[in-house]
A = this chain, B = another copy of it.
Amino acid sequence: MSFQNDLLLRVAKGEQGERTPVWMMRQAGRILPQYRKVRASLSGFVELVRTPERACEVTIQPVDELGVDAAIIFSDILVIPEALGLEYKMIEAKGPYFEKVIESAQDIANLRTVNPEDQLGYVLDAIKLTKAELNGRVPLIGFAGAPWTIFSYMIEGQGSKTFSKAKKFLYTEPELSHQLLQKITDATIAYLKAQIKAGADIVQVFDSWAGVLSAESYLTYSLPYIKQICDAIDEAPVIVFAKGAYFVRKQLGELNCQVLGLDWNMDIQESRELFGNNKVLQGNIDPCLLYADFATIKKETIKMLNTFGPNNHIANLGHGVYPDTELDKVKCFIDTVKEHRFS
C-alpha cells in the first residue's frame, strides 16, 4: 500500500523529512468531543478497547480533527496482563484496578501463554479495520507496555506513586521477578509481531514507570527485557519511551531501536549526546504547556523544534496529553510544528 503521508515513517528510519512530523501520545481520547461522544455511548473504557469498530473510529478521529502525521491504535497497555490471565477494570477518575495480583510462584505458573490471535484478536481486528479505513493517509502506530511497567501493575494491582509493592517484589523475589518479566516479554514480543502483521507500521514500547527504579534496578529488571523486544522486532521501526529514565540514557541509546522518546525533564542536547547520533528522538513538550495562551504555546513549540533541529526528530509531548486540554490549544501545538520551517 502506498502512503499519502509517510513522513513519520521516513523520519523514524533516519531519512531527512521536508518538515518535523508530529503526533501526540493519548491523541485518541478525551480531548476530542468526537471521542467523548463515542465513549458516552458505551459502558466503559474496556468495552471501547474490546470493540474493534469503535476502537478504529476513535483511532482515526485525531487524524481527521488534528491533522497529525500518524494514528495510534486505540487500546491499553493492560491488555497484556489480561491476556496472561489477570483481568482489570478501569475505575472512573481512579485508573486501572486488578482484582487479583501476582503474589507467588504458583500465580506466575498459572499465567497463560499468550497467543495474540486467541486472546488479543480484538486488537488485531481493530488494527486491520483501521489500516483499511486509513487507506494510507498516515502510518498506524502499534504499542505495548514495557515489561517492567506491566509487571508493576500485575504486582501492585493499580497505579501508585512509589510502586513500592512492585519494587519490594524485585528486592525480595529476584528470581520470580525475572520469571514473570520473561513471561511478559514473550507475550509482548508475540503481541507486537502480531500487531505489525495486522498492519501496524511502527510500534512504541511505553516504560511509563521507569522513573521509580534506581539505575542498577533498571539495568537488571527493565532494560534487558526491552532489549529482547527490540532485538526480536525487525519487521518495523521501534520507538522506546522510558519516562523518567534519565539516569540510563546512555544504555537506552545502545538499544536496537530506531527512536527514543524524551520526557520534558530531559534536556534535548544532553539527551542527543547520551543517546548517540544514530537515534531519532521523539518529544518533548510539557503537556501542561498546552494550558498556556496561544502565543506561549507557539513560542515554546518553536523553541523546542529549533533545539532538536531539522533532522532525526518526531515532535510529540513528553507524556500523554492531559484530558482537560482545550482542543484549540492542541491544534495550536500541532499546527505550529507543521508550519515551522528551519531557516
Contacts and interface: CB of A to CB of B under 8 A. Distances in A.
A97 B267 CA distance: 34
Interface stretch (A51-59, A158-166, A224-232): A158-166
B322 A287 contact: no
B246 A171 contact: no
Contacts of A264: 214
Given A286-B167, A286-B217, A296-B171, A267 B291 contact: no
A161 B286 CA distance: 14
A129 interface: no
Contact of A164 (B162, B167, B170, B288): B288
Contact of A172 (B159, B162, B292): B292
A247 interface: yes
Given A246-B246, A286-B217, A171 B291 contact: yes
Contacts of A171: 288-289, 291-292, 296
Contacts of A324: 164
Interface of A: 159, 161-162, 164, 167-168, 170-172, 211, 213-215, 217, 244, 246-247, 264-267, 286-289, 291-293, 296, 319, 322, 324
